[in-house]
Structure 1
Amino acid sequence: MSVQNTYTVTGMTCGHCAASVTEEISELSGVTDVAVDVPTGAVTVTSDAELDRASVAAAVTEAGYQLAG
């Protein structure tokens, strides 16, 4: 069973930003897909199980951006 969550990431302005966020989130255990929409900051993460929001936030921070909310 796949779980899909959408997060809002602030500070992304280009494809390089999206690639950095995708790379870091993809390293989280169970993540099977990451889709980034730079203009809106929406990051949709598909995983095998529910992800801990703090883990996602840490990955986004590692990429140099912030999770909104």
Structure 2
Amino acid sequence: MSKELKTLNVDGMSCSHCENSVKKAVGALNGVSNVTVDLQAKKVSIEFDSEIVSLDIIKETIEDQGYDVV
């Protein structure tokens, strides 16, 4: 098991619906153990097992929700 914690800058999130959609989508990925969203700072922190899910998949999942990982 290879736990990692990454914080991504995400543009486009502005409300609790945005926060919930990112948390739900990323949290549903196999290998992700925790997701926290800071709307004011426009940051998403993800704790995940890099042997199960890649950071690229996580970024793609956030972008699929309509937000930009910068």
TM-score class, shorter: 0.7 to 0.9
Residue 33, structure 1, aligned to residue 34, structure 2: yes
- TM-score of the pair, normalised by structure 1: 0.85
Which one of 52, 58, 62 corresponds to residue 54 of structure 2?
Answer: 52
Which stretches of structure 1, 4 residues or more, deviate above 6 A after TM superposition?
Answer: none
Consecutive unaligned residues in structure 1, runs of 5 or more:
none
What are structure 2's unaligned runs of at least 5 residues? Answer: none
The answer for the alignment partner of 1:5 in structure 2 is 6
Give aligned pairs, total.
68
Sequence identity (%): 29
